[in-house]
Structure 1
Amino acid sequence: MVENRNATLSQTDTDSDADFGAAASFAQPSPPGGSGTGTHSQALAVLRELVGNPGADFHDGQYEAIEALVDGGRRALVVQRTGWGKSAVYFVASLLLRRRGAGPTLIVSPLLALMRDQVAAAARAGVRAVAINSANQLEWDTVREQLAADQVDVLLVSPERLTNPSFRENQLPELIRRTGLLVIDEAHCISDWGHDFRPDYRRIADLIEQLPDSVPVLATTATANSRVVHDIEEQLGAGVLTIRGALGRDSLRLGVLALPDARQRLGWLLTHLSDLPGSGIIYTLTVSAAEDTARLLAEAGHEVLSYTGRTDPADRERAEQLLKDNQVKALVATSALGMGFDKPDLGFVVHLGAPSSPVAYYQQVGRAGRGAANADVLLLPGSEDRDIWQYFATASMPSEEKAAAVLTALADAGSAVSTVALEARVDLRRTPLELLLKVLSVDGAVERVGGGWRSTGRPWVYDAERYQRIAEARVDEQDSMIIYQDTAGCRMEYITSVLDDETAHACGRCDNCAGQWFPADVAADATNAAGQTLSRAGGVLEPRLQWPSGMDRLGVPVKGKIKPPEALSEGRVLARLTDLGWGGALRTIFAAGAEDRPVDPAMLQACVQVLREWGTGDSRTAGWSGGGRPAAIVSMPSRSKPQLVESLARGISDIGRIPYLGALQLAHGGPTGSRGGNSAYRLAGVWDRVVVGPELEAALGSIQGQSVMLIDDLADSRWTLTVAGRALRQAGAGAVLPLVLAQAG
């Protein structure tokens, strides 16, 4: 039987999970009958010691959860708003259990930023906490020694560690034997209905089953609707105590401002960023948007930094600290800065584009106003949001065809196969391949061992119904975000009601309750500056330097580094498809079913500007990347956009007065395969299928050894360009300088 207790919170948000502050700021009456119990007095003393406040007391529900874990040895689920003090529950429970002779607490925590904050906060409070994750491998031996010497109160591990064969075989059994408390942080991730498809988290259900019934288990999350709650309860097992509180955030003032395009949205930021309270986070949906926005704001004199999945880990940590210290006005971030980042006085969160679900949105806006009475939250939705949502939704889900191919490849191998070697056997890129292997591993069909992955031989059936349910849930979540933008009712009430908060009510503070609290004007000079940034063209197109591994299995006789006499030179691209500026026009050109047309004059002029800057060079690269001004232009053969490519090549030829020699030719039916495959299969699909024809070879003879510009419409894997460049160089061309309209990703 599952017991569910709802706790209504009346306090304002003046706390920080990682600093245990939710319980520290207000002295509340003790639970009825609780003050006299030994456990309660011990817990209260520990809490006050942790937070350094002799007047601290528990929020409603905190002691109830601690008592269930410490005295009852129960399994509990705590669903409480961000900043309520969930970490206070498991740190107090951990110390009480340790004092009673229990082993260390094992916390499964999803993000490095969260681990850093929790370890630091624990150390300040005298809790001996250590972490094992991908960022501190040099410390692992020390951590193992501390565990062996019983000098650790709390061990934090990432869910990915649970799939590591060495960890599972060598460390996990002993941890399970000694664990005094298991904590699953951000527990919505263990549910199919959570906002992130993370197969590593599904390992935790196996971990729970291995624990003795006497070991208490705590799952915590701030973002779970009833469907997620029920799923988590089932995975925790029988007798779960669920403590669910109100999710409304009294400190947040929500608003939505619909502007016509990216130019206006960026113009609004330029106009009003300085007016936003304190320091904060500006969220974008893509890496390119974060980088472009940060550059625009920095050039206008604002102290901002970008923070994305491409940011170096050391730079991420530095950026987080600068924001915490109020040394920057904002971090312009993707969802890479999310769960676990803790800055109690964060003054604002602005979204350039809407997240794909109310759960994700609530999670991100929850970074603000945790230790302050007021914080501003503003959403600037974009017309391109749905396209971006669809891309990420489909990218994370495994397909039956690809799963079957992986299982067949591993079964045929008969022994362990590394991920790199598997790419030569299955047409999947590295990230989706690794995701699929984790899914199959959790389902017991494959296992990770020394040397790679191998088949277990167990039967596996693609659960099409399950994945269809998840896909449909994603669509429902996306629709909910559109409703949130358009609603005339209270925005906080809508968000919390979608999360099935029974106490959801009008906040009296959002733009619909109290009137528009934010200015809607955009200064003309800001709009012009944003327009200039968005019209800025040009990016570096890096050449491939090494052939993929295992090409001999696919009949392609290459390996190792690409030889300099066959290599493509560094090139230029007008824009990425995900860029805020030219990306929009390019997405239209390459949309499914879009008509092939000659290049737009404005786009041609933008390409000419890219070439001017390329020819001049800068502090980082030599003019024309060291190859000199091209003596001729050659275009790629295109089956989908022949007018576009040829008109671009001829237009540049006329403007630059560089002779156009014609196009390469397709051989053997042309390239095979489709975009999105891995490097090995993409290369095999174009090998010897783009060639120099007799007429072009004769024309190249007149410029023997001189540079050639190679023009194409869209670069994805870059293997087609690499093969074409190799063919041109073998035909006598010098450096081959690619110019491409768009780059995928």
Structure 2
Amino acid sequence: MGDNELRDAAENRLRALAGPDATLRDDQWAAISALVVERRRALVVQRTGWGKSAVYFIATALLRGLGAGPTVIVSPLLALMRNQVEAAGRAGVRAATINSANPEKWQAVQDDVASGEVDVLLVSPERLNNPEFRDTVLPELTRTAGMLVVDEAHCISDWGHDFRPDYRRLRSLLGELPSGVPVLATTATANDRVVRDVADQLGIDGSDAVVLRGPLDRESLHLAVVRIGTAQGRLGWLADRLGDLEGSGIIYSLTVATAEEVAFFLRDKGYEVAAYTGRTDQTERLRAEEDLLNNRVKALVATSALGMGFDKPDLGFVIHLGAPQSPIAYYQQIGRAGRGVRRADVILLPSTQDRDIWAYFASLAFPAERLVQQVLQVLGEADRPLSTPALEPHVDLNRTRLEMVLKVLDVDGAVQRVRGGWIATGKPWAYDGDRYQRIAEARTTEQNAVLDYLDTESCRMEFLQRQLDDPHARACGRCDNCTGKRWDTAVSEESMASARARLGKAGVEVAERRQWPTGMGDLGVPLTGKIAATERAEPGRALGRLTDIGWGNRLRELFASTVDGGVRDGDVPADMVDACVKVLAEWDWSARPIGVVTVGSTRRPQLVSSFGERISSIGRLPLLGALEATDRVQRANSALRVAGVWKSLRLGDDLTARLSTVEGPVLLLDDQVDTGWTMAVATKLLRDAGAPAVLPFALASTG
């Protein structure tokens, strides 16, 4: 087939995919030709909606027509996979997925791939190291693949805004591909440093590779920053303006708690909206996506869980309540809007708490060398594979960070995932501290750039383009700075009052713990398995979450460190006492508490003791006493936290004697509930001493 015939075939496929008037862009054809005719490797960096998926689906159809094997697409999100399967069908390409949500279909999909019934197989990067998939499916798939596609390729770079260690496994996969198998990497969000890193990781940095970068501006996007000083003001402004925005869209928040709070408030104001977060049930996520796609909701109020992988060309607006911690992440999210409409409004409402949230996310970075070496030592001394829960009692890392460390060590060859858990390979491994330090510094630079974006008086789109090293960066002529047109910051009295009432509402539920962590016996703690009903707390309450936009602001002030990094302590504030009394009054307990017990505190003894005294006095409940506590080191994971609490808490003789005579629930007070393990251990001690029920109550929840 000659070049002209090949291009005609490609154009026909594009029209089937995108409509009768669609024509290939020059860079689309350049990429397709490099993959199909020359069997080369290519990196395509183009804005969302440019047509990157068209490149790999059309290239797949052409390669299959020439007798090549199936295309393997590594794709990071289930939502993205669903969109890709539908798009493939429009292009006349048969696609299927193997992912964590469809294990019952794996064998059938594998059989269809082997028989030639499937043209495209989509897999998640995590699947590449599933022992069964890696050992039984991947070798044959690698041997017969006609093309490999790495979608959202910026995830491979730890310089990028969305680094995922599982993507690093692609480097070894690429090394096993037969000669002449084309490779395509695609992304919309990569600056020069990320492009270089992706090219290096994927082995497409040689002179034979094709790198195609296009302009990142989209003429429909109208960017603006709206500064409103209070949380209730921002919420009220949103309620006043949401109905004026064209079409449906996305409202992004930085935390799950904020997303749920905002969604509740907007529904109460009469808007059809839904929350979409990492805590949202998968079935509800699918329903929410469908509702937005079909304009049955005005907006999804979402965290970054709705980032990559949502394809709605007519999305009319993107609003951010709080600024993401990098301009690149911000560009990636606003790129969801305006792909198929003439105008889309992009509005950022920053908060003074944004930097606190950025600091929290920064605390989840790759851990210090001693902690990583601790993981290697424990695995090296084990006589069997260890699961992640079995590792936790021996390593001071929480589950998320421990899994990240294991994935990085796996990619580097120092550990291996096998049936039953993880083993050490014995291969030497060196901690690249210089690289991790440079990455941390880069994150700080990105955060400062976000602050500069808020303050800039020049073109906002050009600012973002320059952050992405877009050589086509220039003033857009549409943003608030280019036009001089600003959004009115006035908020109606009605909306302000509604927002104030909503954010002033006190009380959140605190779920009780039902299962002790694995491996407590290894730490000398006699706790194992399910927590017996006779030792378990009732569902508890807290005044508010530290991440809330209502009481969270006051609670963050209360628990903030002093200027020199110390701990503030003092009597519980009167407004918080009043709010706690309201929470208690609205608590639908089956039986009223008959006494108060506090959790002894070595950090804020005055705060906790005054809290107990005030609630005891106002509620006319006897103050039975306090659990005695000794200092303990704050630990990162559940097993070590439980062990620390178990060894630091005890019941004094006086409190034990009083508990033996109580005939009703005990109200257990503390300043904060974090993981819930302090309340769980304290409850066991109280119930073992005779308390028939325990009702946990705290000023703040960190959940």
TM-score by length of 1: 0.91
The C-alpha deviation readout for 1:157-201, integer Å capped at 9, x for no partner, is: 111111212111111111111111111111111122211121111
Secondary structure of the 1:37 match is helix
SS of 2:699's equivalent? strand
What is the correspondence of 1:85-104 to structure 2 with a 5 Å cutoff? 85-104=51-70
2:571 counterpart SS class: coil
CA distance in 1 between counterparts of 2:168 and 2:202 reads: 12
Aligned counterparts of 1:333 and 1:401: Cα–Cα separation in 2: 36
Match in the other structure for 1:552:
521
Cα distance in 1, alignment partners of residues 434 and 3 from structure 2: 52
Give the match for residue 595 of structure 1: 568
Moved over 6 A (4+): none
Residues 170 and 202, structure 2, Cα contact 8 Å, conserved in 1 = no
Q: Which moved more, 1:431-440 or 1:284-293?
A: 431-440
Query: Could you tell me whether the CA contact under 8 Å between 2:313 and 2:337 is conserved in 1?
Result: yes
Task: Give yes or no for contact 1:130–1:156 (8 Å, CA) kept in 2.
Answer: yes
SS at match of 1:434: helix
Q: Contact 1:197–1:396 (CA<8 Å) still a contact in 2?
A: no
2:675 maps to 1:706: no
Deviation at 1:295, TM superposition (A): 0.5
Please point out which of 35, 47, 54 is paired with 2:14: 47
- What residue identity is the alignment partner of 1:738? P
Give the one of 406, 410, 428 matched to 1:437.
406
Q: Given the alignment, which residue of 582, 587, 610 partners 1:609?
A: 582
Q: 1:36-75, aligned counterparts within 5 Å?
A: 37-53=4-20, 55-75=21-41
The AA in structure 1 aligned to 2:485 is: Q
Structure 1 CA distance, aligned partners of 2:469 and 2:268?
43
Q: Which moved more, 1:42-51 or 1:146-155?
A: 42-51
Which residue of the other structure, out of 640, 644, 648, is the alignment partner of 2:603? 640
Verify the 8 A CA contact 2:72 2:149 in the aligned structure 1.
Answer: yes
Q: Could you list the per-position Cα deviations for residues 347-369 of structure 1 after superposition, in whole angstroms to 9, with x for gaps in the alignment?
A: 00000000111111001000000
1:726 to 678, 684, 696: 684
SS of residue in 1 equivalent to 2:376: helix
> What does 1:237-252 correspond to in 2, within 5 Å?
237=203, 238=206, 239-252=208-221
| Structure 1: distance between partners of 2:656 and 2:382 | 43
Using the alignment, how far apart are the partners of 2:112 and 2:614 within structure 1?
68
- How many percent of aligned residue pairs carry the same amino acid? 57
Instruction: Name the structure 2 match of 1:269.
Output: 238
Amino acid at match of 1:599: V
| Counterpart mapping for 1:367-386 below 5 A | 367-386=336-355
Structure 1 stretch 172-181 or stretch 680-689: which is displaced more? 680-689
Q: For residue 502 of structure 1, what is the aligned residue in structure 2?
A: 471
**Separation in 2 of the partners of 1:200 and 1:520?**
44
Counterpart for residue 124 of structure 1:
90
Q: What CA deviation, in whole Å up to 9, does each residue of 1:640-669 have, x standing for no partner?
A: 111111111111112111111222213xxx
Q: Distance in 2 between matches of 1:603 and 1:142?
A: 59
CA shift, 1:234, in A, is 2.0
Aligned with 1:222 (options 188, 196, 210): 188
Q: What does residue 631 of structure 1 align with?
A: 594
CA distance in 2, matches of 1:248, 1:110: 25
How far off its partner does 1:558 sit? 2.2
Cα separation, partners in 2 of 1:550 and 1:236, compared to 1, 3 Å: closer
Taking the aligned partners of 2:309 and 2:690, their CA distance within structure 1 comes to 56
Shift of 1:126: 2.1
Matching residue of 1:27? none
Q: Is the 8 A contact 2:572 2:611 kept in 1?
A: yes
User: Could you tell me which residue of structure 1 aligns to residue 163 of structure 2?
Assistant: 197
For 1:680, the equivalent position in structure 2 comes to 639
Q: State whether residues 277 and 303 of structure 2, in contact with CA within 8 Å, keep that contact through their aligned partners in structure 1.
A: yes
Post-superposition CA distance 1:376-403 (Å, at most 9, x none) = 0000001111111121122132331221
Greater shift after overlay, 82-91 or 554-563?
554-563
Equivalent residue for 2:616?
A: 653
Q: Deviations over 1:58-104 (max 9, x none)?
A: 11311011101111111111111111101111111110000000001
Pairwise CA distance, 1:125 = 3.2
What displacement does 1:473 show? 0.9
Is the 1:75–1:236 contact (alpha carbons within 8 Å) kept by the matching residues of 2? no
Q: Out of 332, 345, 363, which is 2:314 matched to?
A: 345
Which amino acid in structure 2 is aligned with residue 38 of structure 1? E
Q: Does 1:210 align with 2:176?
A: yes
How far does residue 460 in structure 1 lie from its aligned partner after superposition? 1.1
Task: Identify the match of residue 231 of structure 1 among 197, 200, 211.
Answer: 197
Residue by residue over 1:663-691, the C-alpha shift from the partner in whole angstroms, topping out at 9 and shown as x without a partner, is 2213xxx252305x211111111214322
Between 631-640 and 540-549, report the one with greater CA deviation. 540-549
Match of 2:251 among 268, 282, 290: 282
Compared CA separation, residues 396 and 164, structure 1 to 2 (3 A): farther
**Is 1:457 equivalent to 2:417 in the alignment?**
no
Q: Within 2, Cα distance between the matches of 1:106 and 1:56?
A: 26
1:390 to 350, 359, 364: 359
Q: Secondary structure at the match of 1:573?
A: strand
Q: How does 1:28-43 map to 2 (within 5 A)?
A: 37-43=4-10
> Residues 571, 505 of structure 1: CA spacing in aligned structure 2 closer, same or farther, 3 A cutoff?
same
Query: After alignment, is 410-419 or 423-432 more displaced?
Result: 423-432
Which amino acid in 2 is paired with 1:602?
D
Compute the displacement of 1:434 (Å).
1.1
Q: Which residue of 2 aligns with 1:154?
A: 120
Instruction: Name structure 1 gaps, 5 residues minimum.
Output: 1-33, 618-623
Alpha-carbon contact 2:64-2:119 (below 8 Å) kept: yes
> Is contact 2:168–2:201 with CA below 8 Å preserved after alignment?
no
SS in 1 for 2:394: coil
Counting matched residue pairs gives: 696
Superposition deviation, residue 41 in structure 1 = 2.2
State the shift of 1:35 in Å: 10
| Structure 2: 5+ residue stretches without partners | none
- Asked whether 1:692 is paired with 2:651, we answer yes
TM-score with structure 2 length normalisation? 0.97
